[in-house]
Amino acid sequence: MPAMHWKDFDLNLLPVLDALLRRGSVSAAAEHLGLAQPAVSKALRRLRLYFGDPLFVRTGRGMAPTPKAMELAPAVAQVMETARARLVPGAGFDPATSQRVFTLSMSDVAELVFLPTLLPRLQALAPQVTLRVVRVPPRELDAALEQRNVDLALGSARLAREGLFQQQLFRHPLACIASPRHPAAAGPLGLADYRSAGHIGVTTPGAEEDIFEWALQEHAVTRRFVMFTPSFMVLPMLLAQGDLLATVPQRLADTFVGYGAVHAWPMPVPVAPLALRQTWHARFHHDPANAWLRQLVCQLFQAA
């Protein structure tokens, strides 16, 4: 196969490759680009010839990218995002008319903290935008953000990885919760009570310890765990069965208390407040839609 030269590459093929990668079929790419389907098929033939690779193969679910196409995808997306954001007049994001789907990664607690405030504001400013919430393990988050499978990650994870931006939005303290019928509910919760009680821990995917263990280890506080669960939302039901304790963010404790589901105490040790952050990838730092969403989140929560 002869060596590829940049001067031989027709830049008009880039939008076609980008559309094929995003849409997964020739017909959908043609509709997105406003081209006839034969024109897109011809462009795909030229792309295959240039790269010496099929790029896409037919499957039962449409056209699947080959490893070569997946290797090209991040670079193609970055070029197209830059062109739209920096070079094309009027290519900025218009929330009033956009039909974009924004994907947010967050835990169940982050959903409780962020969504009741964010969703109504988003509906008011961008009525045709769709919000999609997913849960991505921290170890997979950088790849999900880079590939734009996730636009923003909202939560407490501190990610000091190359290519990621993080912005602290606010901090809130931790609290201890138990059944409203807990024997100690009538008075304060002392450190000795906290140490001697059985605890329910909450873990993140791939982790083996309670999500707030770091905060208590700083004060040499050890706990006896009876069980671990990946969900904060099941805690009131589990705590209702006995005299166990759980450590949660204060805002979650306040919500549970409001429903009469738990009794809450301040932490018996002065642990550091929990920092809530938003995280995004450097590839989309200048993307108008991503920047608009980040600014909205910041306005709603940084003053909290």
Range of the domain at 62: 6-87
Are residues 164 and 280 both part of a single domain? yes
Q: How far apart are CA 57 and CA 26, in angstroms?
A: 11
- How many structural domains compose the chain? 3
Local confidence band at 152 (pLDDT 50, 70, 90 cut-offs):
very high
Residues 149 and 280 both lie in one domain: yes
- Whether 95 is in a domain gets the answer no
Structural domain includes residue 33:
yes
Q: What is the pLDDT of residues 234-271, one digit of tens each?
A: 999 999 978 999 999 998 999 899 999 999 999 999 98
CATH number of the domain within which 73 lies: 1.10.10.10
**Radius of gyration (Cα) for the chain, nearest Å?**
25
* Nearest CA among 35, 22, 33, 13 for reference residue 62: 22
Whole-model pTM over 0.85: no
CATH number at residue 105: 3.40.190.10
Mean pLDDT score, 26-34: 86
Q: Identify whether 211 is part of a domain.
A: yes
Domain check: are 218 and 147 in the same one? Answer: no
User: Residue 3: is its pLDDT beyond 50?
Assistant: no
Q: What is the pLDDT of residue 2?
A: 46
Residue finishing a domain among 29, 63, 87:
87
